[in-house]
């Protein structure tokens, strides 16, 4: 399965989960927490798996100036920081909704950049076969068993590029 398609699938699932939060009664903090906890964990794993599997190849094959990659790593840090802010706030409080809203905004903007720039260039430069191999590695990295090995910490964009070129 093409990693570019699999990334799109994940993005759709993220948009749906944020939309699900819209539908929950704001007083039902138990349900808000349950849906948010799954979404936050998924956002973390998705970004870390992209950093482990996708962006090293993007850097070598389809992002010669490294600008797309640096921008993406910076965006992932902003998404992770908003998740951390939400985790420190009381679920359902104004601070919590602010953090969740910031996370959604950063993530929506970031997904657009991946979908309009990173993935199109990957499709142009990397063969279907290689994208299919990457897709398998991407899905394996996100499984419950293997995702514990992913690095979900913030990363310096310049250091990330230096480490993978
Ligand atoms: Fe990303
Ligand atoms: Fe993504």
Per-residue pLDDT tens listing for the chain (165 residues): 999 999 999 999 999 999 999 999 999 999 999 999 999 999 999 999 999 999 999 999 999 999 999 999 999 999 999 999 999 999 999 999 999 999 999 999 999 999 999 999 999 999 999 999 999 999 999 999 999 999 999 999 999 999 998
Residue position matching structure tokens 């260039």: 121
Helix 67-88 with 29-49: angle, nearest 10 deg: 150
Residue 3: name the closest of 53, 63, 73, 65 by CA.
Answer: 53
Q: Which ligand is nearest to the CA of 72?
A: 1
Report residues near ion ligand 2: CB below 5 Å. Answer: 114
Are the CB atoms for 19 and 121 separated by under 8 Å?
no
Ligand 1 center to 47 CA (angstroms): 5
Residue 153: name the closest of 76, 96, 65 by CA.
Answer: 76
């Amino acid at each position: 399965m093409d990693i570019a398609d699999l990334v799109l699938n994940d993005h759709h699932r993220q948009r749906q989960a944020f939309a699900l939060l819209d539908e929950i009664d704001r007083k039902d903090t138990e349900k808000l927490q349950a849906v948010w906890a799954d979404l936050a964990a998924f956002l973390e794993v998705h970004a870390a798996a992209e950093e482990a599997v996708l962006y090293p190849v993007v850097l070598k094959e389809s992002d010669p100036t490294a600008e797309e990659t640096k921008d993406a790593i910076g965006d992932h840090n902003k998404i992770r920081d908003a998740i951390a802010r939400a985790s420190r706030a009381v679920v359902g409080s104004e601070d919590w909704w602010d953090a969740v809203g910031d996370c959604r905004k950063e993530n929506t903007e970031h997904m657009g950049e991946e979908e309009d720039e990173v993935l199109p260039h990957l499709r142009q430069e990397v063969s279907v076969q290689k994208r299919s191999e990457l897709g398998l590695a991407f899905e394996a990295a996100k499984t419950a068993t293997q995702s514990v090995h992913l690095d979900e910490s913030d990363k310096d964009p310049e250091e990330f590029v230096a480490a993978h070129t």
